[in-house]
Copies of this chain bind each other. A is one copy, B any other.
């Protein structure tokens, strides 16, 4: 059977190892495993959400309200935008995928005349997307499936001067991950707005996707990082802001994210949105989660308290870390310590963290856990690092 030729070069996304898999592979007890690999909220979700899920479990047979109006209204009020500026996705992942689909073949019509004249250059003229050297893996995967050429900046973390220099390639989509996953660094909002202005004039057909999956953490730590989705809808018809309930809101398992942009962009994305793309219980959970700001704030505050322990640990061990505006921290290891070995050793003790070897970095990313989890992880890490260094 013949398939999409683009798929020949697609590597399947490697998700953080689930607890179930570690139980299966290492014969450990589920209760002994600490998973700090997927940036879930270790404090669970709001008690209000859990109650609402229990009360509505009997609605599992009913499709959700496909207009998702109640959730859109709550988000519209939260961000000072209109309902027509909102689209809901199965995680912000799905909104990324919708953007890629919406931009696929966008060049066909306008570039037809041009491409007729340059048949021989057809391959090099393949439309492109632009992203940071190291950033969220799904940007590349979705873009490759759709046949886009991948352009990356030289720097691993976001360097807007390098992004600007690449605008001449007229990328169909420019991905800005603010703050950046899996590194943790974060552009200032002001820098992002200036870049949007620049992109608008130099490459007006580029859609700039601002992935704000960890914005709640960044804006808590430093208000200069806070991107305003309202400002984007009002001033930047070339941009879309993405948010998620998977991180600060503690709903990773429920798969709810959203996009905020001009009504024109949102209407187009709705054409590629599959119907009933989130579950009935996810819709209820997200609406309820938005009502419990105190829970979110306390989670974020404790996140940064606990992160300090990892920073102190890194300093004491003379290990480089990237100052993080998220709920994870990335340790960049020295040459003599192999990140794959560190992760493997921790795994055998039931601790799951993320090895960044797949990003071609000798580094590992650790989600900030509960106090007791972090204590065990740091103790174990201490032991493993000493033993690996000696070897």
Chain A contact residues, CB within 8 Å of chain B: 1-7, 10, 12-13, 15-16, 18-21, 24, 35, 38, 40-41, 43-45, 49-50, 53-54, 57-67, 69-70, 90-91, 93-94, 97, 101-110, 138, 145, 147, 205, 207, 237-238, 246, 250-255, 264-265, 268, 270-272, 274-282, 285
Contact = CB atoms under 8 A, between A and B. Distances in A.
Given A50-B60, A63-B252, A237-B1, A275 B106 contact: no
Contact of A49 (B44, B60, B250, B271): B60
Contacts of A63: 15-16, 18, 38, 40, 246, 252-253
A65 B18 contact: yes
B66 A18 contact: yes
Contact of A105 (B6, B101, B108, B270): B6
Nearest to A58: B50
A110 B251 CA distance: 45
B238 A1 contact: yes
Given A4-B102, A20-B65, A60-B285, 19 more contacts: A2-B205, A3-B103, A5-B109, A7-B102, A7-B268, A15-B276, A18-B64, A18-B67, A19-B62, A19-B65, A38-B63, A43-B61, A44-B61, A50-B60, A53-B57, A54-B54, A63-B253, A138-B274, A281-B281
Contact of A90 (B6, B54, B90): B90
B253 A60 contact: yes
Given A4-B101, A66-B15, A59 B20 contact: no
A170 to B, nearest CB: 11
